[in-house]
Amino acid sequence: MNAAEDVITLTRALLRFDTINPPGDESLCMAFLADYLQRHGFEIQLRRFADKRYNLLARMDGKDKDAKPLAFTGHLDTVPLGNAPWRHDAFGGEIVDGKLYGRGASDMKAAVAAFIAACMQHQQAIRTGNGVLLMLTGGEETGCDGARALLEDAGVVLPPVKALIVGEPTSNYPIIGHKGALWLRCETQGKTAHGAMPELGINAIYLAAEAIGKIRNFEPGAPHPLMKQPTLNVGTVSGGLNINSVPDRCSFDVDIRTAPNLQHGEIRQRLAAMAGEQVQLTTLVDLPSVLTEPGDPWIKQVFLCCRPLHDGPLEHRVVPYFTDASLLRDALGSPPCIILGPGEPAMAHQTDEYCLVDKLLQSVDLYGEIINLGC
């Protein structure tokens, strides 16, 4: 098979695995990739971090084993299918009118297949250069669980790397950073009573509603030149056991997206003060933002590689979602980091998710160019 057939075949193979998270099960998909990569010359480490949950490290060394390799990362878990019916089999990998359909096609199994295919195509450059490191994770969609487990895994030593490429969906547009995420669970405690005698109780839902009203217009901090205004969203509310009782407990979850100019500890303190003493806060996810200086020499080279693929001059852009780079970048020696993948950003988490086949093929060549920059 040629390179185009290789990447399409591999992408379709990955899409056929159900890796929906929750509940989360990357076991069969990771085992398939571990075998595939090992057969193609990579040294692999398949690491279990929970029941049916796996991370996979694959390394191909260059001529100098002590040199800093180029690193790629991607996650294999996907979000649930949603309630709307799919016109195309979510695990079928159908190609219709130039679109490759399936849950995870854009976010982000196509990118994983593409950077693997690029490595296969450019093995000589890798082996005569500095080598490559592939970090394939589980559990990214629920807060970078796999990446966190990888850092806590005593059996894994991550080397410093030359640069980090995150294959999230960008339609092959180079992205130099993303916002941080602070997820907080806010709980209120009341006093239960019969629903016919509410005056004898303290309604925890009312307390939560009051607190939500107070924080609705909370400002996490000043805008960032690239990441703009930080945001806050109350995503879930849960309280009460039955309709005819006064609820004695309620919780709501807050999603705050931040920038490098903001400190999560300070944001948490101010939010707690605004919500009031009746609200107890628990941190669910705490992920820093990621931003590489636009003037970094490697970033400039990547932009030159991407330039012919887009109309007009390329701008320095960031995205609001988080990636595994939040945790992996520091562990890899704080290298320059680019978010770059063939997926369609608007297709992430959507019904009938797809990746454009021409973008997928384009990304193999693009990743190959980056490998040849001096892998």
> Active-site residue 77, yes or no?
yes
> Active-site residue 199, yes or no?
no
User: Is the separation of the CB atoms in 320 and 178 below 8 Å?
Assistant: yes
DSSP code of 257?
E
Q: Which two tokens stand for residue 324?
A: 């595994």
User: Is the separation of the CB atoms in 169 and 348 below 8 Å?
Assistant: yes
- DSSP secondary structure string, 95-148? EETTEEESTTIIIIIHHHHHHHHHHHHTHHHHHHTTEEEEEEES-GGGTSHHHH
Helix, strand, coil percentages for the chain (3-state, nearest 5): 35, 25, 40
Q: Which residues pair with 275 in a beta bridge?
A: none
Which among 25, 107, 140, 141 is annotated as catalytic?
141
CA 55 – CA 359 distance, rounded (Å): 26
CA 287 – CA 160 distance, rounded (Å): 20
Which amino acid type is present at position 207?
L
User: Is the separation of the CB atoms in 156 and 150 below 8 Å?
Assistant: yes
The phi, psi pair for 21, rounded to 5°, reads: -135, 120
Which among 26, 61, 77, 344 is annotated as catalytic?
77
Q: Which two tokens stand for residue 237?
A: 């509310």
CA 286 – CA 63 distance, rounded (Å): 38
What's the half-sphere exposure (Cβ side, CA atoms, 13 Å) at 306? 24
- Nearest to residue 105, comparing CAs of 2, 231, 238, 8? 8
Which amino acid type is present at position 235?
G
Give the three-state DSSP class for 254: strand
CA 298 – CA 286 distance, rounded (Å): 28
User: Which positions are catalytic?
Assistant: 77, 141
